[in-house]
Amino acid sequence: MSVYTPASEVILRHSEEFETRHVLFAGDLQDDLPAHLVTASRKVHTQQYHHWQKLSQLMGEDASFSLVADAAMVSGCDTLVYYWPKNKPEARFQLQNLLSLLPAGCDIFVIGENRSGVRSAENLLAPWARLEKIDSARRCGLYHGQLETQPAFDIAEFREQYQTDTLTIDTLPGVFSRDGLDNGSALLLSTLTPHTKGKVLDMGCGAGVLSVALAKHSPKVRLWLTDVNAAALAASEATLASNGVEGEVFASNVFSDVSGRFDMIISNPPFHDGLQTSLDAASSLIRGAAKHLNTGGELRIVANAFLPYPQILEETFGNHEILAQTGKFRVYRSVYGRGSRAK
């Protein structure tokens, strides 16, 4: 039996409302309610590869993963059910894209946890639709309205750049460290020495900062960059191009789509999935890394100092060291084949 998020449980309180509708689900989807809610028809658009993996198994081609939705994806839908993310610029980007494709007069339902800032949905959508709060339960708010005016959407308006030392970083809403280099990544970068060689996998690449910084002082590295977020993948591709760096960028849920072995895996792994604290991705990264490293290859990650990664590193590799630390972050290094317990 599926376990639904509080947001989906609120949607279920209004399940009869959707029985005759052609529904497009989008936003911060965290469960498989779209595959089970009774509707005339349903489609899903998500920017999150791991969410698409689960939903596509149940919905086939009615679930799509991409940076932006297109007219074909939205065709036939008369209702949008949008799950509010924790990031307001991300919500604006996604909603402006979706509403530019949906027909005027279509119904809009916005659902989100109060702590996500869903209350701002009314003001954000005000130029195109008047929303009203129709339910409050499970610490969530559900808003409803009808699309009055289709917004224009130009992805170029959402692309941004910032500079760090000699690098140009391209980014988009929803990408980690969108407004500048975060302290954790900066600490990890400080441990990367020149003249690194071999195959390097940047796991959870974000805007591609780690990869381009490494390539600038170690031009002989060969880079692979992966993330679950379509916006991060697009940002990384742009960052590579802006800095004249070559690399292969692809979607993967941790190692789901990774093949081969590497000489180094670097990461600033997330410990949230949406608003929820989750160590699953980081734990899977550490445990799976041993199967994707050459003998003598290393995993190098930065993490909040309070997270229990040393134990997982020791269980997996049989070794770990702290390369750098501050009051908040630590950079860990484990080498495959040096007392490694992994097969």
What tens digit of pLDDT does each residue of 204-246 get? 999 999 999 999 989 999 999 999 999 999 999 999 999 999 9
Split at pLDDT 50, 70, 90, the class of 278 is low
pLDDT at 341: 52
| Residue 1, pLDDT above cutoff 60 | no
Which ranges of the chain would DSSP assign to H, the alpha helix? 6-12, 33-36, 49-59, 71-74, 88-99, 121-125, 183-190, 209-217, 230-242, 280-289, 309-317
Q: What percent of the chain lies above the pLDDT cut of 90?
A: 84
In eight-state DSSP terms, residue 280 is H
| Residue 77, pLDDT above cutoff 70 | yes
| Closest C-alpha to 177, from 192, 199, 162 | 162
Q: How far is CA 182 from CA 71, 129, 176, 177, 179, in A?
A: 36, 36, 9, 6, 9
Q: Which residues pair with 200 in a beta bridge?
A: 223, 264
Residue with tokens 């008047």: 130
Question: The tokens of 233 are what?
Answer: 């993948």
Question: The tokens of 114 are what?
Answer: 């109060």
Split at pLDDT 50, 70, 90, the class of 339 is low
Residue with tokens 């059910």: 81
For the residues 25-34, what does the mean pLDDT come to? 96
Same fold, 6-155 and 159-336: yes
**Does CATH number 3.40.50.150 belong to domain 159-336?**
yes
CA–CA separation, 212 vs 196, rounded Å? 13
Is the CB of residue 202 less than 8 Å from the CB of residue 223? yes
| Residue 308, pLDDT above cutoff 90 | no
| Residue 277, pLDDT above cutoff 60 | no
pLDDT at 273: 52
Indicate the residue type of 35.
A
Question: The tokens of 86 are what?
Answer: 């924790």
Cβ-in-10-Å burial (0-12, 13-18, 19+) of 20 comes to: exposed
Name, in order, each residue with C-beta under 8 angstroms of 157's C-beta and a sequence gap of 6 or more: none
| Residue 31, pLDDT above cutoff 80 | yes
Residue with tokens 């910032």: 162
128-137, 139-148, 255-264, 303-312: least confidently modelled range? 303-312
| Per-residue H/E/C for 108-145 | EEEEEEHHHCHHHHHHHHCCCECCEEEEEECCEEEEEE
Q: Phi/psi zone of residue 265: left (φ > 0), alpha (ψ -120 to 50 degrees), beta? A: beta
For the residues 261-270, what does the mean pLDDT come to? 93
According to CATH, what is the number of the domain 6-155? 3.40.50.150
Q: Domain segments of the chain: what residues?
A: 6-155, 159-336
Split at pLDDT 50, 70, 90, the class of 180 is confident
